[in-house]
Amino acid sequence: MDVVVIGAGSWGTALACVLTQNQHRVTLWGRDAEQLADMARTGENRRYLPGLKLPPGLAFAADLHAALRALPQGEPSLVVSVVPSHTMREVMLSVADVLPAQALVVTASKGIENQTLCTMMDVLHQTLPSHLRERAAVLSGPSFARETAEGQPTAVVVAAPTRPVAEQVQQAFQVATFRVYTSDDVIGVEIGGAVKNVIALACGMAEGLGFGFNTRAALITRGLAEISRLGSRMGGNPLTLAGLAGMGDLVLTCNGPQSRNRTAGLLLGQGKTLEQALGEMKQVAEGIKTARSVHDLARRIGVEMPISEAIFRVLYEDRPVRQIMSDLLGRPPKHELG
């Protein structure tokens, strides 16, 4: 299959490696033509995955429209969007008119738009031509980019409105070390993938304050309760949030040293300002923007999410991290399943 991966960050590069391993003809696009030229020359993504050798069959394109126009008409192809969630609407609007009629369109971005409160699949449905909306899917799950690109065993889930589309995407990505499960619970998969980044910020802040594993375990467990409440209220299946896109991704992002959101929270917990924390990071921590969306969405539909609310107050109301953690612990006692 001919494939275009939109986004040459760490995760876009990792998925391009997986797809190339599956014998697809893969082209990787990024905004920075100089970075792409360096990748083609050195065989590495030295900016985001230094030291990792890219597969020799991987191609690079600085012109996204040209890359998409080169996809074959009348036969299946694959377009994978791996741009930051806050840029996906702009990118997909710019290319909607050149997408082939038989393309499968997959978003591997995790987030919820500010203002609109749209998930990434909502964005696809609003930007894609009508004939492609049923050919859209979302890929999520516990998967650090470097480990995925290195071929370490990884399991993810792809969700689509119809089983045939989910199964086609599954077949496109499935390789010996990258196991893909299917789901029809699009909203559950998306909410799990987006909100876990906010909980990971909380875990990082707690670690930065010097708190240990008891605190982290409490935040992960109660964070999952928040994610499940929101996902269920929006029509998702609670069992989805106990799976790869929920608990699996939450555990990885809250614990792994490669987690951008945990790292951002750690820096904030150590006393850095948000500007200072972002200045020390090379990549986007999606949870920072998503925290505002989750706060607004929870308020709109009446879902109690105290951890997410606390992170919003730290990021957007300049509340002290230590005071917020004390406020969480000082909430009135309640029944665990209430």
Cite the active site residues: 196
Which amino acid is located at 200 in the chain? A
Which residue carries 């597969």 as its tokens? 55
Q: Read off φ and ψ for residue 48, nearest 5 degrees.
A: -115, -30
Q: Which residues contact 54 (CB under 8 A, 6 or more apart)?
A: 13, 16, 17, 39, 43, 44, 45
Q: Which residues contact 213 (CB under 8 A, 6 or more apart)?
A: none
H-helix segments, 209-259: 213-233, 238-241, 249-255
What angle in degrees, to the nearest 10, is found between the helix axes of 306-316 and 321-329?
A: 160
Residue 206: CA count within 13 A, CB half-sphere:
25
Tokens of 201: 């910020």
**Cβ(110)–Cβ(194) below 8 Å:** yes
DSSP annotation of 169 reads H
Q: How many residues does the chain have?
A: 338
R_g of the chain, CA atoms, integer Å: 20
Quote the CA–CA distance of 211 and 206 in Å, as a whole number. Answer: 5
Tokens of 72: 């074959």
**Cβ(275)–Cβ(292) below 8 Å:** no
Quote the CA–CA distance of 299 and 282 in Å, as a whole number. Answer: 32
